[in-house]
Amino acid sequence: MKTNKNILVTGAAGFIGYHLFNRLSQQGDNVIGLDNFDYPCGAEIDCMRGDVRDATLIDKLIGEIDVVYHLAAQSDVNRSYIEPDLTFKVNVGGTENVLKACKKHKKRLIFASSCEVYGTAQTKSISEEHPLKPHSPYAVSKKQAEEICIEYATKYKVRVSISRSFNIYGPLQRNDSYGAVIPVFVKRISEGEPPEISGNGTQTRDFMYINDALQAYEIMFKSDLYGKPINFGTGKDVSINSLANLIIKLFDFDLRPVYEGSRPNEVMKLRADISKARKLGFNPKISLEDGLRSYIDWFKKED
C-alpha cells in the first residue's frame, strides 16, 4: 500500500483511523494524523489535535499533503439521537471543509461512509443501487456527506472515492456505553455476565474484521471510480442472537443472553453485496469466528 506520498488521516485516534494510520506509517508513507480526541480508541498515537470543523486548519493541512483519508466523524448511532447538531456539524460540515480544501488544492480524497445510509435491507443483500433510507441522525448525516462528495466529484472533478463499509470490528474498539456490539458483548461475557440484547435479537449485521477493512481502503486508494460509492463487507450476515451465542461458546461459559427493549428505529437487516468491490480486487479473508478469536485473544491480553 506504500505510495511514497504525504497522507492525512482525519480521525486518526479512533479505532479504524488508528489502524489505518499505523498501516500507512509502517509501509513508509509520511502520515499526518488529525483528531479532536472526542472519541479516541485509547492507544498512544503521534497525532495532531484539531477538528475538521476548523476550515482554516483543514485548508492548511490539505495544502501540504497529497492524499486525505477522511475518517473523522461522530460515528455513534445512539449518541446521534442525543447530540444531532454535533453529529451534523462534524459529519456534514467537517466533510464539506475537507472537500473544499481538496478542490482548492487539487488533492485526492477517500471518504469513509457507512452502510447505515441504507437503513433496513429491502433485498437479501444490499447493492450500491439499494434505496437509501437512513434511520438515525448519524445515518442521515452520512447520506448528506456522501451527496456533497458526489457533487464535488461530478461538478468540480474532485477525485473523491466513497467507501460504504459494513460493521467493522477488531482490537482497540471501545466497549463502553458508546461501544459497538462485539466489544460490549465480549466485555460482559468475560466478566461472567450475560450479553444484553436489544429487541428480540433477530436483527442481522455483516461484520468485517479490521484487517479486511484496511484492505478495502487500499482498494479505494487504487480505484479511479470517483463519486461512486462502493460496498465493503463480507457478503454474509449473522443475527445478534447467533453472535452472542458464538462469543459465549468461544469463552466456553454457561450463559444465556438477556433481552431488553428495542432501540428506536432499529435497522433489522444489513448484508453487503460486494460484487463491485470484488471486481476491484477486494477479497475478505477473515471469517467471523476467526476474527472473534483474534479479538478475544487481544482483549484477554489487554484486560
Q: Which sequence positions are flagged as catalytic? A: 138
* Structure-derived torsion over alpha carbons of residues 294, 296, 301, 303, reported in degrees to the nearest 10: 150
How far from the centroid of its chain's Cα atoms is residue 168's Cα? Answer: 6
Q: Give the integer Cα–Cα distance in Å for 114 and 95.
A: 14
- Exposure of 55 by Cβ count < 10 A (0-12 exposed, 13-18 middle, 19+ buried)? middle
Alpha helices in 175-271 (DSSP H): 181-190, 210-222, 240-251
Q: Give the integer Cα–Cα distance in Å for 113 and 143.
A: 8
Q: Report the residue count for the chain.
A: 303
Identify the DSSP state of 115.
G
Query: How far is the first Cα of the chain from the last one, in angstroms, to the nearest whole number?
Result: 32
Identify the DSSP state of 249.
H
Buried b or exposed e, range 177-191, using 16+ CB within 10 angstroms: eebbbbbbbbbbbbe
Which grid coordinates belong to 96? 464539506
Q: What is the DSSP string of 132-199?
A: ----SHHHHHHHHHHHHHHHHHHHS---EEEEEE-EEE-TT---STT--HHHHHHHHHHTTPPPEEET
